[in-house]
Structure 1
Amino acid sequence: MSQASFILSAFDLDRWCSVLETRFTVDDIAALQTIIDPDIDADPEFAGCYIVEPGEMDAINQRFDVGFDPARLKLPEVEIWLERQQKGRSIRDVPYLVHTNFELPLMLEGRKKLARFTDILPRTEEAFDRWVEKGVLHKEVFVEPIPEALIPYLIDPNHRAVRDVYCTLNGEEWRIPAISLIWKAGGGWNEHFERLERMLFRYEDWQNDWWIAHRIEKSGGFGGIPFCCKVDSEGLKWMELAGFKALPPLAEIQIHIYDPDEDTVAAALLAEDECAVALARFKLSLECSENC
């Protein structure tokens, strides 16, 4: 019988953040799927996020002995969300409060100075707009057309522009052109741009240190798509002498997309070549120069 961990959250629609959460283990995923959605063909792994109705919440509490009771908070507008905990990818594993889904209360408390949303969901934007109308927040919207060269590769061919929404506290409007300069600086995204952006969001220095080290360890850096390739002992020595700033000058190299959560795939790549001693991880930018 399979087991999986799930998160139940009470989401405050006024402050637009989770105010109560609990994690529980399910020994019969099919039983939980039946409670939430009998038609599971669209989500066979049950990895989506679901709104839980009151009757469904009662059934979950009874079947899995969760004891989740957000009604005791006596909040006027609350939704119950259910999501499967993703191993190795949860922001709950970070040793500080990640701003995601807590942007509004952090800004209202003055702890966050800037928020940016790309193709923001209407309900999220409406939650911020209420505070813009009250004169508490400042909002700016930028729409950037998608380059014609990328149109054939779009999943949704009707999605022809990227809409960015910025919100700041009043008096902090300067952060919007500042972050725009970072994105337009060119040369590829790197850990220095990442740190500057997070400083504008108002993350603390130690939080930025942890995040940058974590990203480098997990995916090899910032910007672009993570790849890997096998190297032998001589290639590894060459990379060490180069300060791990370049790949060895191999006559033939086979690269693979690297997923930090797929350790078995990485192990299999090493096992298939008896000369390989390590996987070199690196990132390639989606941007291409005029000489490509």
Structure 2
Amino acid sequence: MSQASFILSAFDLNLWCSVLETKFTVDDLAALQAIIDADIADDPDFAGLYSIDPDELNAIDQRFDVGFDPARLKLPEIEIWLERERKGRSIRDVPYLVHTNFELPLMLEGRKKLARFTDVHPKTEKAFDRWAEKGVLHKEVFVESIPESLIPYLIDPNHREVRDVYYSLKGEEWRIPAMNLLWKAEGGWNEHFERLEGMLFGYEDWQNDWWIAHRNEQSGGIGGVPFCCKVDSEGLKWMELAGFKALPPLAEIQIHIYDPDEDTVAAALLAEDECAVAFARFKLSLEMQRKLLDGNTQGPWQINREQIPEINRHLKRQVDVLFRQSAP
């Protein structure tokens, strides 16, 4: 029977961070789903984040022998969360403390200089507001209408405004207009913006270096949807001669969205084509991405030879070669 790892967290609503965690192994997903009454149809892989009540926690402890006892912390306001461990893409795999869900204590310690929330959850804002009201943090709010050109791409077309809430340490207020200006810059997000954002938040240079290198390796670069296409031996040779700075001028290319969690699917797709020897992974400018996705957000997309030069003009970085294999 296959096993899966899960994490239980005790989340302090006053400090707005996890203060106790434990990992445990589940040998029967159906049993866990039955305990927390999870909707299998909506979340068959248990990828969601679940709030656990005391009775559910007790049942989990008895069934899976977890030994998780947040009551011993004697904290007045905590929530218990359950999530499935995501191997290879979890922030717990990063070799430094990622600020996510630790923003408030890090700011109170002076280790984090700035926090930014878009359409922030009321409980999150309440936790930070306590310290803004005490004069420890500085708060600014920006509300802007979503441009009409982006309305067709919204999940909820009735959501027409974006509310950004910033908190900074006292004396670091300059970071707020700097970050707001960064997010208004045109041309699409890229690794230079990512580095500037990290610096404004308070990450160290080596941490920004690691993060950008990791994102390049995992998804082909910062910002936007990663795409991929199969190439034959001639196409691969052409890309090598071009320094991996362009896609080859093949008669026709079928482009797919690349999902780093579905490497087995990508490898199977490659095996279906006896002429293919590798996948080329690439990212496009926001302008080209919208043009490509127009009317079809799932793919695949058929690109002919005449369209490839335009695609190449909109590449955001080098083309990565994945699953390279010998020519038949």
Letter paired with 2:76: P
Which residue pairs with 1:275 in the alignment?
275
Which residue pairs with 1:251 in the alignment?
251
Find the aligned partners of 1:61 and 1:143 in 2 and give their Cα distance.
44
Q: Contact between 1:227 and 1:283, CA under 8 Å: does it hold in 2?
A: yes
Find the aligned partners of 1:288 and 1:7 in 2 and give their Cα distance.
39
Letter paired with 2:82: L
Q: Contact between 2:228 and 2:256, CA under 8 Å: does it hold in 1?
A: yes
Letter paired with 1:88: G
Instruction: Show CA shifts across 1:235-286 (max 9, x none).
Output: 2233233332221222311110000111112112221222222111111233
Find the aligned partners of 1:35 and 1:279 in 2 and give their Cα distance.
42
Residue 183 of structure 2 aligns to a residue whose secondary structure is: helix
Residue 261 of structure 1 aligns to a residue whose secondary structure is: helix
Q: 1:41 deviation in Å?
A: 4.5
Find the aligned partners of 2:131 and 2:110 in 1 and give their Cα distance.
14
Q: 1:29 to 1:205 in 2, by over 3 A?
A: same
1:73-222 maps to which residues of 2 (within 5 A)?
A: 73-222=73-222
Find the aligned partners of 1:9 and 1:141 in 2 and give their Cα distance.
30
Q: 1:220 to 1:40 in 2, by over 3 A?
A: closer
Q: 1:40 to 1:228 in 2, by over 3 A?
A: closer
Q: What TM-score comes out, normalization by structure 1 length?
A: 0.93
Letter paired with 2:4: A
Find the aligned partners of 1:288 and 1:240 in 2 and give their Cα distance.
24
Give yes or no for the alignment of 1:229 onto 2:234.
no
- Aligned-residue Cα RMSD (Å) equals 2.1
Q: Contact between 2:187 and 2:285, CA under 8 Å: does it hold in 1?
A: no
Q: 1:182 deviation in Å?
A: 2.3
Instruction: Show CA shifts across 1:31-67 (max 9, x none).
Output: 2222212654443333222222222222211111111
Find the aligned partners of 1:218 and 1:158 in 2 and give their Cα distance.
33
Seq. identity, %: 84
Q: Contact between 1:116 and 1:167, CA under 8 Å: does it hold in 2?
A: yes
Q: 1:285 to 1:144 in 2, by over 3 A?
A: farther
Q: 1:162 to 1:64 in 2, by over 3 A?
A: same
Find the aligned partners of 1:129 and 1:219 in 2 and give their Cα distance.
36
Which residue pairs with 1:23 in the alignment?
23
Residue 131 of structure 2 aligns to a residue whose secondary structure is: helix
Q: Contact between 2:117 and 2:166, CA under 8 Å: does it hold in 1?
A: yes
Find the aligned partners of 1:213 and 1:38 in 2 and give their Cα distance.
36
Q: What TM-score comes out, normalization by structure 2 length?
A: 0.83
Q: 1:2 deviation in Å?
A: 4.1
Find the aligned partners of 2:232 and 2:126 in 1 and give their Cα distance.
55
Stretch of structure 1 that moved more, 220-229 or 37-46: 37-46
Extract unaligned runs of 5+ from structure 2. Answer: 293-328
Residue 50 of structure 1 aligns to a residue whose secondary structure is: strand
Q: Contact between 1:145 and 1:160, CA under 8 Å: does it hold in 2?
A: yes
Residue 274 of structure 1 aligns to a residue whose secondary structure is: coil
Letter paired with 1:25: T
Instruction: Show CA shifts across 1:128-170 (max 9, x none).
Output: 1111111111111112211213323322121111211111101
Extract unaligned runs of 5+ from structure 1. Answer: none
Give yes or no for the alignment of 1:5 onto 2:5.
yes
Stretch of structure 1 that moved more, 253-262 or 148-157: 148-157
Stretch of structure 1 that moved more, 37-46 or 65-74: 37-46
Stretch of structure 1 that moved more, 242-251 or 36-45: 36-45
Find the aligned partners of 1:108 and 1:215 in 2 and give their Cα distance.
29
Q: Contact between 1:219 and 1:226, CA under 8 Å: does it hold in 2?
A: yes
Find the aligned partners of 1:129 and 1:106 in 2 and give their Cα distance.
15
Residue 81 of structure 1 aligns to a residue whose secondary structure is: strand
Q: What count of residue pairs does the alignment treat as equivalent?
A: 292
Find the aligned partners of 1:68 and 1:227 in 2 and give their Cα distance.
42
Residue 217 of structure 2 aligns to a residue whose secondary structure is: helix
Find the aligned partners of 1:103 and 1:68 in 2 and give their Cα distance.
24
